[in-house]
């Protein structure tokens, strides 16, 4: 059994991680840390877990009793935490924030299994990819690797309200978000840094821009991305490359028809679809932002790091109806 500690366990990602690990056949939660909720039952905060666990939040961090810790902090807090606390060298770290996603000055591996599985197998410290970054990269990876597209890549993506975290804000309040849609961080979203890093890794000579328009949706969870770029290859060849690229992927599937988001919500799946319109290649990708876009992928990475079956604890039913 992999013994797990969770830091920042009271937020959305912490709750989803607890939900997954309670049902993981080869993992055991040793502690769920939350200073503000110490002593409270986990199921009193994450009410969907009522009847499933007697686990209580703790303000303690017994690192010597675990094999891996998950950092479920807000962005910027993981790096500060690791500077202030000593984690034993033999304890693996999986960070769900953006603090270590960009390479340089640290030993964290960028944990996108579809391209970094071998590095993930042997790493001690892992930076889990961002939700939009995961969805967008899975749409683009085969096209980039096989030089199928050129010029600027135009991307539109819409995300659920849980992507903004549990803390209440002006754009997460129900009365504002419901029956509403809005654009934010146009062309400047922070996940562009990791997307461009991957493009530089797969195709260093690529000189196009990723022009990304993120949108807030009036639903709780899920991400739906559409992207398009210039492409001279016939669609049959494109489809062949996509099928071959993802044939061994545990959770990324190429669909023969345009997908809808409900196919992936509540699962660790990504569904990808490609289609040609004259000289434009349309690439569609959808994921659950809290699962394949966050803790589902983090558990997938944990499985790889500990040599477990990649799908352990992640065979989840989509909320398709």
Listed by start position, the domains of the chain span: 2-128+292-305, 131-289
**182-183 vs 210-216, strand pairing mode:** antiparallel
Pick the closest to residue 258 from 241, 277, 245 (CA basis). Answer: 277
H/E element, 127: strand 125-127
Residue 72 annotated in active site: no
SS3 of residue 110 by DSSP: strand
**Mean pLDDT, to the nearest integer, of 171-186?**
84
14 — pLDDT class (breaks 50, 70, 90): very high
SS3 of residue 225 by DSSP: strand
Query: Regarding the domain delimited by 131-289, which CATH topology (the fold level of the hierarchy) does it fall under?
Result: Dihydrodipicolinate Reductase; domain 2 (3.30.360)
Alpha-carbon distances, residue 50 vs 44, 47, 95 (angstroms): 7, 6, 27
- Would 2-128+292-305 and 131-289 be classified into the same CATH topology? no
Task: Using a pLDDT cut of 90, give the percent of the chain over it.
Answer: 91
Residue 314 has pLDDT above 90, yes or no: yes
DSSP conformational letter for 130: P
> Which residues fall within 8 angstroms of residue 205, CB to CB, at 6 or more apart?
none
319 — pLDDT class (breaks 50, 70, 90): confident
From the list 131, 135, 231, 286, the catalytic residue is: 131
d(CA 263, CA 197): 29
SS3 of residue 238 by DSSP: helix
163 — pLDDT class (breaks 50, 70, 90): low
The reported pTM is 0.95
**Mean pLDDT, to the nearest integer, of 293-297?**
97
**Mean pLDDT, to the nearest integer, of 134-155?**
98
CATH superfamily label, 2-128+292-305: NAD(P)-binding Rossmann-like Domain (3.40.50.720)
Residue 140 has pLDDT above 90, yes or no: yes
User: What's the pLDDT at 285?
Assistant: 98
321 — pLDDT class (breaks 50, 70, 90): confident
């Amino acid at each position: 059994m992999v013994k797990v500690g969770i830091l920042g366990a009271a937020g959305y990602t912490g709750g989803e991680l607890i939900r997954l690990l309670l049902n993981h056949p080869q993992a055991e939660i040793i502690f769920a840390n939350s200073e503000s909720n110490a002593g409270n039952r986990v199921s009193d905060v994450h009410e969907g877990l009522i009847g499933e666990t007697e686990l209580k939040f703790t303000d303690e961090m017994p690192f010597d009793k675990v094999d891996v810790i998950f950092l479920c902090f807000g962005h910027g807090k993981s790096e500060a935490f690791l500077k202030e606390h000593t984690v034993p060298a033999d304890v693996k770290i999986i960070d769900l924030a953006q603090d270590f996603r960009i390479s340089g000055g640290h030993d964290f591996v960028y944990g996108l299994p579809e391209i970094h599985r071998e590095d993930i197998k042997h790493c001690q410290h892992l930076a889990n990819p961002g939700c939009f970054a995961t969805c967008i990269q899975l749409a683009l990876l085969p096209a980039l690797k096989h030089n199928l597209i050129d010029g600027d890549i135009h991307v539109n993506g819409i995300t659920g309200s849980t992507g903004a975290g549990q803390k209440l804000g002006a754009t997460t309040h129900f009365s504002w978000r419901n029956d509403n849609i809005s654009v934010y961080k146009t062309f400047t979203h922070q996940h562009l840094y990791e997307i461009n890093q991957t493009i530089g890794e797969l195709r260093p000579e690529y000189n196009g821009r990723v022009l990304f328009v993120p949108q807030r949706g009036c639903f709780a969870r899920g991400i739906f991305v559409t992207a398009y770029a210039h492409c001279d290859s016939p669609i049959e060849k494109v489809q062949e490359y996509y099928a071959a690229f993802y044939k061994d992927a545990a959770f990324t599937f190429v669909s023969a028809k345009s997908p809808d988001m409900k196919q992936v919500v509540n699962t660790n799946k990504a569904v990808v679809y490609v289609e040609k319109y004259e000289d434009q290649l349309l690439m569609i990708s959808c994921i659950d932002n809290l699962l394949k876009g966050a803790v589902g992928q983090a558990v997938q990475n944990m499985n790889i790091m500990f040599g477990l079956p990649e799908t352990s604890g992640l065979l989840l039913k989509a909320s398709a109806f």
